[in-house]
């Protein structure tokens, strides 16, 4: 929430509090049942005297208690569900504010010490306790307002994270519908039709399955891990028809994955990048993909050989990796580990997810 809005909320609260004090003043002065005031209350005959009195007995304790709870006690105690400590701390802050207010009212240029202690110490203690209760109520209101503002801020933050997540997912999905992959696959299937129509039909169904997955199933926040692995297998099978190198791709899955779920399109970008940066026609080119699954964790390792380049590139740069990292941070905060390295002509990605 903007600072202006927060300032208006605070101003509105204290304006309401001041209105209540003024209402009480007019009730005491003008209601017939209360017009016969004791002699000790002669200082309250005017509005100015009343304002001076309320400044020390209500405003100062209220401010101390309100902002102690608002700025310190809420974040340190109440937000951490330390309710007993919060109640004790808020009462001590209210009592401290009341003592400060009483001390101000006892100054010579205010009402003097005799005004508070005119009826003895027992009466002074009772007045201070009443001040403390009023101040404590202000403190509770400060905590409530802080809680509402924090709740509103958290909602806005979640909405912003959700919006960024959607934008990142859309950008990621769009980036995965690679025109080169589609054109190459269609051309390969077209060539295969004249040689083996049955095999061409199988690959065409795989391509149709990939397109259906990208357009429809990626809209869900989570899909079954089994369905995600089927999609990866379809993509790898379509890439296999580009080469006669039997050892070009090694895809291995170990462990149980039935009943598990995962966010869609988490693993495919790494595999797609591996195919983009590996020469399929070279016999020494290879892509190795390994998935190790347990009940609570997935370990994904993808290694591929690279084109010969004149100078090494930054393995952590590029829009693709940046989008992937952002998406993982949104979907699996503090529940994933991603490491990317490049050495000796091999590009290696290791991702660990807590399912």
d(CA 317, CA 23): 66
The pairing of beta strand 336-343 with beta strand 346-354: antiparallel
In tens, the pLDDT along 115-124 reads 676 766 777 7
DSSP letters of 22-77? HHHHHHHHHSGGG-S--GGGGGGGSHHHHHHHHIIIIIHHHHHHHHHIIIIIHHHT
More confident residue, 28 or 303: 303
* Between 44 and 113, the higher pLDDT residue: 113
Domain boundaries, the chain: 3-166, 177-354
Handedness of CA 203, 206, 211, 214 (dihedral sign): negative
**Looking at domain 177-354, does it have CATH number 3.30.565.10?**
yes
CB atoms within 10 A of CB 145: 18
Task: Return d(Cα 21, Cα 248) in angstroms, integer.
Answer: 83
pLDDT digits (tens, 9 = 90+) for 57-111: 889 999 999 999 999 999 888 888 898 999 999 999 999 998 898 888 878 777 7
For residue 283, the model assigns a pLDDT of 61
Whole-model pTM: value is 0.50
Higher pLDDT, 6 or 51: 6
Among 326, 148, 355, CA closest to 257: 355
Q: How many CA atoms does the CB half-sphere of 34 hold within 13 Å? A: 11
pLDDT at 85: 92
3-state secondary structure of 343: strand
* 242, 280 contact by CB (below 8 A): yes
Q: Max CA-CA distance within the chain?
A: 114
Rounded Cα gap, residues 248 and 305, in angstroms: 10
DSSP 287-300: EEEEEEE-SSEEEE
User: 50 pLDDT band (50/70/90 cuts)?
Assistant: confident
Q: What is the mean pLDDT of residues 259-283?
A: 81
Judge whether residue 332 has pLDDT over 60.
Answer: yes
pLDDT category at 252 given cuts 50, 70, 90 is very high
Mean per-residue pLDDT of the chain: 80
Mean of pLDDT values over 318-337? 78
Write down the pLDDT at residue 264: 85
Task: List, in sequence order, every residue forming a beta bridge with 304; answer none if it has no partner.
Answer: 287, 347
């Amino acid at each position: 929430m903007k600072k202006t809005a927060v300032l208006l909320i605070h101003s509105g609260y204290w304006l309401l509090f001041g209105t209540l004090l003024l209402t009480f003043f007019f009730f005491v002065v003008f209601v017939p049942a209360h017009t016969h005031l004791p002699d000790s209350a002669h200082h309250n005959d005017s509005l100015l005297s009343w304002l001076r009195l309320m400044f020390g007995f209500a405003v100062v304790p209220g401010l101390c208690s309100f902002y102690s709870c608002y700025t310190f006690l809420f974040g340190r105690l109440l937000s951490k569900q330390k309710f007993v400590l919060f109640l004790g701390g808020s009462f001590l802050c209210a009592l401290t504010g009341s003592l400060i207010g009483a001390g101000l009212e006892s100054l010579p240029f205010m009402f003097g010490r005799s005004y508070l202690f005119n009826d003895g110490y027992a009466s002074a203690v009772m007045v201070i306790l009443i001040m403390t209760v009023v101040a404590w109520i202000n403190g509770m209101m400060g905590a409530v307002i802080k809680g509402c503002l924090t709740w509103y801020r958290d909602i806005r933050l979640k909405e912003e994270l959700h919006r960024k997540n959607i934008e990142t997912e859309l950008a990621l999905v769009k980036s995965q519908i690679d025109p080169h992959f589609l054109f190459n696959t269609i051309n390969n299937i077209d060539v295969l039709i004249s040689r083996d129509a049955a095999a061409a039909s199988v690959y065409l169904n795989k391509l149709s399955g990939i397109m259906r997955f990208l357009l429809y199933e990626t809209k869900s926040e989570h899909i079954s891990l089994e369905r995600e692995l089927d999609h990866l297998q379809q993509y790898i099978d379509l890439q296999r028809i580009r080469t006669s190198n039997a050892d070009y791709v090694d895809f291995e899955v170990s462990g149980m994955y039935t009943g598990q779920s995962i966010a869609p399109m988490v693993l495919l970008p790494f595999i797609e990048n591996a195919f983009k940066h590996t020469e399929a026609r070279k016999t020494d080119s290879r892509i190795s993909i390994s998935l190790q699954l347990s009940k609570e964790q997935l370990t994904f390792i993808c290694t591929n050989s690279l084109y010969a380049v004149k100078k090494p590139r930054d393995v952590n740069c590029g829009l693709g990796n940046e989008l992937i990292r952002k998406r993982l941070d949104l979907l699996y905060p503090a529940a994933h580990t991603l490491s990317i390295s490049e050495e000796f002509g091999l590009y290696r990605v290791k991702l660990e997810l807590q399912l």
